[in-house]
Structure 1
Amino acid sequence: MTLNKTFNNIPLSVLDLSPVNEGSDPGQSLQNSVDLAQHVEEWGFNRYWLAEHHNMPGIASSATSVIIGQIAGATNHMRVGSGGIMLPNHATLVIAEQFGTLETLFPGRIDLGLGRAPGSDQATAYALRRTLNMGPEDFPLQVDELQGYFAGTECVHAVPGEGLDIPIWLLGSSGFSAQLSAQKGMPFSFASHFSPDYTIPALNLYRSNFQPSATMEKPYAMLGVNVIAADTDEQAHYIATSQQQQFLSIRRGQPMKLQPPIKNIDDVWTEMEKAAVEKSLDSRSTIVGGPETVKQGLEAFLNETQADEFIINSQIFNHEDRLRSYEIIAELMD
């Protein structure tokens, strides 16, 4: 595929899970998120999304719509939204009202990204819903219902919400949401940052089946990318061991707070665990290094995917290192 886009002229955005560090607490994590959002807005990032996860000691973004309001209130013009709301966990009317309220408070700045996975284990899903009658297979029906609340075609009215133009994105890590996004003529965000092998098949499915809608004439695909940037390759690889430990803990079924970086990651995992983590953190969509390494990695991934936008996740232990990582990316944009 011929490169017809360049890395420094597509929008770059931020995906934040509000990581809770070992030795810290969610209060500090949420303060860090506000600070990061204010910095990346100044540095020219396009949007700032927060992700819904539950029963995870290392993630503070569980009450996603609440944090979106906090971030939007602390910034001025950057778009703020969900990456995403796990719709099977919620009554669609509640989501319509929550995001209708956010859009009313911050007009023209709110995005609603939707996922169909529970974002949690079975026990947590039950605690959230009190019933497991609705599951991922009901996701298309829930999306239709949510659109109906915004359009005012349901018999129950979402106030605030009804009549508001809130962009709805579908998120995915496989082909299901890619195909549904295409059928409904909606923007699509793919989780390349943890599902790299399915990126190209999902994009092909989305683009080849896209049907124009009242809101979109052509497909628009945003891809998740892990980027850990530092002033040198060596420093970046050291910092990246925090993210590697996080993925390792999830693979072991023992999620924990974000751990500080370590000198030798091979001391803590087996060869089989290493292979599994590295498969998820594939070098195509997990880019670790100094400025030139990061620039080359992003350009290569753009060349491969022809993405319309990148949304960048950076699981970094020290807040100052995290700020510096996004600053380096901003400098590359310029």
Structure 2
Amino acid sequence: MLQFSLLDLSPIPEGKTEADALANTVKLAQAAERFGYHRYWMAEHHNMPGIASAATSVVIGHVAGATNTIRVGAGGIMLPNHAPLVIAEQFGTLATLYPDRIDLGLGRAPGTDMATARALRRHMAPEDSFPQDVAELIGYFGDSDGARVQAIPGRGTHVPVWILGSSLYGAQLAAHLGLPYAFASHFAPAMLEEAAEIYRRSFQPSDWLAQPYFMMAAGVCAADTDEEAVRLRSSQLLAFARLRTGVPGKLPLPVDDIAEHVPAHVLAGVNQALGCSATGSRDTVAAQLAQLVDAFQPDELMVTGMIHDPRARVRSFEIAGEVLKEMVVGG
């Protein structure tokens, strides 16, 4: 493993506001920089009462301005919601303001429900134009002085573009285009092994990347004891269960026994979806993360996790950072 990074959705805890969530994001990003994380990514979600990162490029700029060296980016921008030129201008501007620090991960899903997707896009296109949109967007970042339409800022910035996915589609597209690939195994691990194999086997070198670069994501919740970590993680399990049953909300307070709050069949599905994870004390998390890295051999591991108490969340990623630093090649 070459690097370790962090994904933050800017969760809004129960009893707190969107402003609190965004302030927590800045504090966590600053801490992540101190802890040695390589990237700090945020994701586009809309109409979600518990997530404050909807205007993703705006939050990325805010975080980049509050940090100094850590790479900041989108994991990801849901490209079907946007015109490629608009995203090129946004991330070209970010790259101009914060040179060599901005990443752009692209997803194909809407990142919301269909009613909200229609509100975002105004006119829903029946065809899948994602591959063409990705190619168009990458073109805007190139040296396109003679092009009729240019992203200004954007042209010549060569913003690194990633393909994100939770199925085999993204793996095939990333391999075909010769781009780095990140798999969303933190909430959809079922196809992780197959997607990694397809991506590596089918990869075609490009102007952007000479050999495949594969990132996997994993949940993490670390604390001083196994018991405390399990309790802290209950907030995320509750939030995911409520999302799956159609009642999304803010990030709940932790509970002592999650089984008392979530029906068994729902909890089983949640545990399966969030199964690519590590929860516990430092030693427990170290063993579980080492098992994941040994099994899938990612070039980079991105960890994520929602904890109601922002101080406990910072501490969780501090413990994870200590563990991951020892796992990095040459660390």
Q: TM-score, normalised by structure 2?
A: 0.96
Q: Do the aligned residues in 2 keep the contact of 1:86 with 1:119 (CA within 8 Å)?
A: yes
Shift of 1:331: 2.1
Counterpart residue type for residue 171 of structure 1: L
Q: Do the aligned residues in 1 keep the contact of 2:219 with 2:305 (CA within 8 Å)?
A: yes
1:303 aligns with 2:294: yes
Which residue, out of 241, 248, 260, partners 1:248? 241
Which residue, out of 166, 176, 182, partners 1:173? 166
Counterpart residue type for residue 150 of structure 1: F
Which residue, out of 294, 307, 314, partners 1:316? 307
Paired with 2:243 and 2:147, the residues of 1 have a C-alpha distance of 40
Which residue, out of 185, 197, 201, partners 2:178? 185
1:138 aligned partner = 129
Paired with 1:30 and 1:146, the residues of 2 have a C-alpha distance of 28
Paired with 2:122 and 2:195, the residues of 1 have a C-alpha distance of 33
Paired with 1:177 and 1:307, the residues of 2 have a C-alpha distance of 16
1:227 aligns with 2:257: no
Paired with 1:271 and 1:109, the residues of 2 have a C-alpha distance of 44
Counterpart residue type for residue 264 of structure 2: E
**1:234-313 superposed matches below 5 A:** 234-282=227-275, 285-313=276-304
1:215 aligns with 2:211: no
Q: TM-score, normalised by structure 1?
A: 0.95
Shift of 1:155: 2.5
Report the 3-state secondary structure (helix = DSSP H, G, I; strand = E; otherwise coil) of the residue aligned with 1:310. strand
Go from structure 1 to structure 2 and tell me whether the alpha carbon gap of 1:65 and 1:134 turns closer, same or farther (over 3 Å shift).
farther
1:228-262: per-residue Cα shift (whole Å, max 9, x none)?
00011000000010010011011101111000100
Report the 3-state secondary structure (helix = DSSP H, G, I; strand = E; otherwise coil) of the residue aligned with 2:129. helix
Q: Do the aligned residues in 1 keep the contact of 2:277 with 2:289 (CA within 8 Å)?
A: no
Paired with 1:162 and 1:97, the residues of 2 have a C-alpha distance of 9
1:40 aligns with 2:28: no
Counterpart residue type for residue 263 of structure 2: T
Q: Do the aligned residues in 2 keep the contact of 1:148 with 1:154 (CA within 8 Å)?
A: no
1:15 aligns with 2:7: yes
Paired with 1:123 and 1:196, the residues of 2 have a C-alpha distance of 27
Which runs of structure 1 show a deviation greater than 4 angstroms over 4 or more consecutive aligned residues?
none
Shift of 1:195: 1.1
Shift of 1:154: 4.7
1:54 aligned partner = 46
Paired with 2:297 and 2:94, the residues of 1 have a C-alpha distance of 32
Go from structure 1 to structure 2 and tell me whether the alpha carbon gap of 1:49 and 1:238 turns closer, same or farther (over 3 Å shift).
same
Shift of 1:223: 0.8
Structure 1: which 5+ runs fail to align?
none
Paired with 2:75 and 2:185, the residues of 1 have a C-alpha distance of 13
Q: Do the aligned residues in 2 keep the contact of 1:240 with 1:261 (CA within 8 Å)?
A: yes
Shift of 1:197: 1.4
| Superposed CA RMSD | 1.1
Q: Do the aligned residues in 2 keep the contact of 1:19 with 1:29 (CA within 8 Å)?
A: yes
1:73 aligned partner = 65
Counterpart residue type for residue 69 of structure 1: G
Which residue, out of 78, 85, 93, partners 1:101? 93
Counterpart residue type for residue 188 of structure 1: Y
Structure 2: which 5+ runs fail to align?
327-331
Report the 3-state secondary structure (helix = DSSP H, G, I; strand = E; otherwise coil) of the residue aligned with 2:32. helix
1:114 aligns with 2:112: no
1:149 aligns with 2:173: no
Report the 3-state secondary structure (helix = DSSP H, G, I; strand = E; otherwise coil) of the residue aligned with 1:240. helix
Paired with 1:294 and 1:274, the residues of 2 have a C-alpha distance of 22
Counterpart residue type for residue 213 of structure 1: S
Paired with 2:173 and 2:138, the residues of 1 have a C-alpha distance of 14
Shift of 1:134: 5.9
Q: Do the aligned residues in 2 keep the contact of 1:88 with 1:134 (CA within 8 Å)?
A: no
